A = this chain, B = another copy of it.
Amino acid sequence: MNGTARIRVAHLGLGPIGRELVKALLDADHLELVGAADINPQMAGKSLRELVDHPKAGGVRVCSSAEELLEDAAPALVTQTTGSRLDQIYASLAGVVDAGVSLVSTAEELLYPWLRHAQLAEQLHQRAVQRGSRVLGTGINPGFVMDLLPLVLCQPCLDVRRVRAVRVVDVSTRRGQLQVKVGAGLSADEFRARVSAGRLGHVGLLESAALLAHKLGWTLESLEETIEPVLADRPMKTEHVAVTPGLVAGVHQVARGRTDDGRELLLDLTMTLGAADPHDGVQIDGRPPVEVRVPGGYAGDAATVATVVNAIPRLPRMPAGLWTVADLPVSTVPNLWGR
């Protein structure tokens, strides 16, 4: 756009979000999709058109690994939608960065990797600096509604004492994968056992809180999270799951951070079948106080795809390194100054 060359992008991970993202990358005038990969052996070697229903997908062959993708497609930037946990994807991220290629990822922990993986984050940053690549974790949650948006809404406020972000999602309107992820159909005991095993619960709420605190200049003396089942009070049935009263309809997850001078962050996330009044909301106790409401809430998958696509033109404006969504300028237009 505006006469600048299109950015060569390759995509890693062809799950549901990845396939939607690929369509959006193919649609974007300022981007050129030059490759795609998934480690699923049933996908490798196929034409992308067999996996993604888009007229422009025909020219792209699906690679079987990040390494093959980098060699085959020679991208300037890789988008990645393969996992939530940094330690599980670190090797492939590092491979991208070491090739001098920039990276935009939806991995939840990469939103603020210093929280759980300070050493890996530092390594990734140093590798990115050395190789001249830029790395960013983004998405809608984490990445926008419970972190970036509250932070932006604080810009016209002084003396912020408390930030409360609420997100209520009716998962019966979403992918079956998400319905299972929130525990719908389990007993309360099974739910708690899975939470204890780290196999249930939204990843990223603590990252949102940590990012928000850091970018508000707050040092948290405590940061805690609770994950509780929401039990069905009536029978509910979707294409993917059936729930009877008393079984789990979804999850209620709260992250709470406090500073030693009494400031507080409260991130309150409910994702259940049949949730009443789905919405995103932010309340700020500051001067002036502010309350903001997004009726219905941002639609997760479509919005996540958009955050990735819209981040891409902004990354080249940053110095090399590992960045957060709060470090980027707001504008998606690639020119450097106001005019």
* Complex alpha-carbon distance, A120 and B298, angstroms: 41
In the assembled complex, the CB of A295 is this many whole angstroms from the nearest CB of chain B, namely: 6
CA distance A332 to B310 in the complex (A): 22
A330 B152 Cβ-Cβ under 8 A = yes
Interface residues of A in 309-338 (CB under 8 A from B): 309-310, 319, 321-333, 336-338
Q: State the Cβ distance, A316 to closest chain B Cβ, in Å.
A: 15
The stretch among A88-96, A174-182, A183-191, A283-291 that forms the contact with chain B is A283-291
Confirm or deny: A242 has a beta carbon within 8 angstroms of a beta carbon on chain B: no
A52 to chain B, nearest CB (A): 16
Which residue of B2, B140, B322, B336 contacts A338 across the interface (Cβ within 8 Å)? B322
| Contact, CB under 8 Å: A157 / B306 | yes
Inter-chain contact A322/B337, CB cutoff 8 Å: yes
CB within 8 A of A299: which of B154, B288, B336? Answer: B288
The answer, yes or no, to whether A307 is at the interface (CB within 8 Å) is yes
Q: Is A61 an interface residue (CB 8 A)?
A: no
A19 on the B face (CB < 8 A): no
Contact A155 B332 (CB under 8 A): yes
With a cutoff of 8 Å between Cβ atoms, the chain B residues found around residue A193 in the complex are: none
Stoichiometry, copies per complex? 2
Q: Output the least CB separation between A298 and chain B (Å).
A: 6
How long is the Cα–Cα vector from A112 to B339 in the complex, in angstroms?
A: 8
Kindly state the separation between the CA atoms of A296 and B289 in the bound complex, as whole angstroms: 10
A interface list, Cβ under 8 A from B: 1-2, 24, 27, 112, 114, 121-122, 125, 140, 144, 148-149, 151-159, 214-217, 286-288, 290-296, 298-299, 302-307, 309-310, 319, 321-333, 336-339
Contact between B290 and A298, CB atoms less than 8 A apart: yes
Please name the 4 residue pairs, one residue from A and one from B, whose CB atoms are nearest each other, closest first: A156-B303, A288-B299, A215-B331, A324-B338
Check B290 against A293 for contact (C-beta < 8 Å).
Answer: no
A37 to chain B, nearest CB (A): 23
A288 cross-chain contacts in B, Cβ below 8 A = 298-299, 302-303, 306
29 residue pairs bridging A and B, Cβ less than 8 Å apart: A2-B217, A27-B158, A114-B338, A125-B338, A125-B339, A144-B155, A144-B156, A148-B330, A149-B152, A152-B330, A155-B332, A156-B304, A156-B307, A156-B310, A157-B303, A214-B333, A217-B333, A288-B299, A288-B303, A288-B306, A290-B294, A291-B294, A291-B295, A291-B296, A292-B294, A323-B338, A324-B338, A326-B331, A327-B337
Residues in B with CB closer than 8 Å to A140 are: 156
Separation in Å of the A238 CB from the closest CB of chain B?
20
Can you name 14 extra interface pairs (CB under 8 A) apart from A155-B330, A158-B309, A214-B333? A24-B158, A112-B338, A148-B152, A151-B330, A155-B307, A156-B303, A157-B303, A214-B338, A217-B332, A287-B306, A291-B294, A326-B330, A327-B331, A328-B329
A311: min CB distance to chain B, Å: 8
User: For A2, what are the chain B residues with a Cβ–Cβ distance below 8 Å?
Assistant: 217
